[in-house]
Chain A
Amino acid sequence: MPDPTPGPDDTGLDSSASPAEPAEPVAPASPAEPVPPADPASPAEPAETPEPVEETAERPAASPQPFIPGGGRFTPAAPSGTKRLWNAVRQRPDGGQVLVAVLVALLGFGAVLQVRADDDDALANARRDDLVQILDGLRRQADRLDDHVAELESDRRDLVSGADTEAAALEQAEERARSTGVLAGTIAAGGPGIIMTISDPDHDVAAYTMLRAINELRVAGAEAIQIRGGGNDAAVRVVASTSFENPSADVLTVGGVELEPPYEIVAIGEPGELSGSMMFANGVVASIEGDDKGGAEATVDEYDDLTVDVLHEPQAPQYARPAPEDGDDE
């Protein structure tokens, strides 16, 4: 333990410590000690001491005691230090102590404030090297985090553009599915076109005639066709696999469905071309009406907006499957 007390003080204390013991019983009895002549006031009431004693470091110099010659400083007859302290604590308060108390209270207040302020900002009283190190570490951490941010942002960009591409692809696919559905007859189609009504009371219109009419419509660019038999209210969407036949003389089946006249063919396409393809000389209308047998009549009306709403039920091909060498040239 470091002991900065000057040498003579040290030795004087140690030698005076043991002689102080026998004097102790005397002390409580007579607070005014007779033995040390240099200590004028009673030790129990130190406040009365009139000497201008500086009680901090200057104390040895200001002490009136002749302490240098052989340990006279703490005289044996005086009460021990502990006792004096105890007496001072138990002492009846006087006015001078109030000021002391105020100062000590200020000390406690300030110390607590300082301690709590230090809790707030630990950096304020860190040393410069520590601060530099902390700063360095924080900077490295910030760099790492910046890298991380850049990485995440590029990821995000990739994902966003990927999502855009995906959405575009989805839209394209949906568009294609729609047009394919129109072609395959699985969804309803709308648009300008013609309605050709064939009144055929005598069932004279043969499947061949009907097939020819459909073919002419296709040549003219019809994109969706349906045939309705007004007699039995049956309708067929004409698709690639639709067949026309006459199982018996008076019966017309289209795609396996028997239709009763009058027939109503709805075709979506350019109305002028479609009706032209029906009406030209020796064309479909002429061949229907020109049948000598009876009173089949065909009328063609052009419309700006028609709906082909009969749907075809597609069936999975049983034999045909995509040939592998064709590839998928999307």
Chain B
Amino acid sequence: MIPLAGLLVGILAGLYFDVSVPLELQPYLPIAIVAALDAVFGGIRAVIEGIFNDKVFVVSFIANVLIAAFIVFLGDQLGVGSQLSTAVIVVLGIRIFTNVATIRRHIFHA
């Protein structure tokens, strides 16, 4: 309940405040969002499977975001930023697909 409310509050805040993304954060924000989405879907899956732990969720959320941003940062430093971004997106996308597939199987039994 509270996480749902938090999501709503976050979206509304993003719509309400016209904050522009700081320039130095701009390459990392999309990756960080995808990483966070991965963590969120993993968390939903864990809830459905009955093994959710909020401490684990928090740690994995933050770690996911930081690691994804760090990988992109490293790629930028090495001159392969766009390729590494693509790699991170692909990996996270596969994980999101996996998690969503599991959730789907639990909910629809199919």
| Interfacial residues, chain A to chain B (CB-CB below 8 A) | 1-5, 9, 13, 17, 20, 39, 41, 43-44, 46-47, 49-57, 59, 63, 74, 78-82, 84-85, 88-91, 93, 96-114, 116-117, 124
Contact = CB atoms under 8 A, between A and B. Distances in A.
A88 B2 contact: no
Nearest to B5: A101
Nearest to A91: B1
A108 B11 contact: yes
Contact of B14 (A81, A102, A111): A111
A99 to B, nearest CB: 5
Interface of B, secondary structure class, is helix
B60 A101 contact: no
11 contacts: A39-B51, A56-B64, A74-B49, A90-B1, A97-B3, A100-B3, A103-B61, A103-B62, A109-B13, A113-B20, A114-B21
B26 A117 contact: yes
A116 B48 contact: no
Contact of A56 (B14, B58, B99): B99
Interface string B1-42: 111111111110111001111000010011011001111101
Contact of B48 (A85, A107, A110): A85
A178 B32 CA distance: 88
A4 B26 CA distance: 31
Contacts of B54: 47, 96-97, 99-100
A15 to B, nearest CB: 12
A80 B58 contact: no
Contact of A4 (B7, B21, B46, B101): B101
A76 B38 CA distance: 28
Contact of A107 (B18, B33, B99): B33
Contact of B58 (A57, A90, A100): A100
Given A17-B105, A96-B54, A112 B11 contact: yes
A81 B52 contact: no
B78 interface: no
Contact of B60 (A2, A20, A56): A56
Given A56-B39, A57-B98, A98-B2, A46 B46 contact: yes
Given A82-B107, A103-B58, A113 B53 contact: no
A88 B97 contact: no
B40 A55 contact: no
A84 B10 contact: no
B49 A105 contact: no
Is chain A's interface secondary structure helix, strand, loop, or mixed overall? helix
B50 A43 contact: yes
B8 to A, nearest CB: 7
Contact of A2 (B5, B6, B95, B97): B97
A13 B107 CA distance: 12
Given A4-B98, A97-B2, A113 B29 contact: yes
Given A4-B98, A97-B2, 9 more contacts: A39-B51, A55-B53, A81-B103, A100-B2, A100-B3, A104-B10, A110-B14, A113-B14, A117-B26
A236 B60 CA distance: 117
A136 B38 CA distance: 39
A103 B57 CA distance: 10
Nearest to B106: A81
Contacts of B43: 55, 100
A66 to B, nearest CB: 15
A80 to B, nearest CB: 7
Contacts of A54: 42, 56, 60
Contacts of B33: 107, 110-111, 114
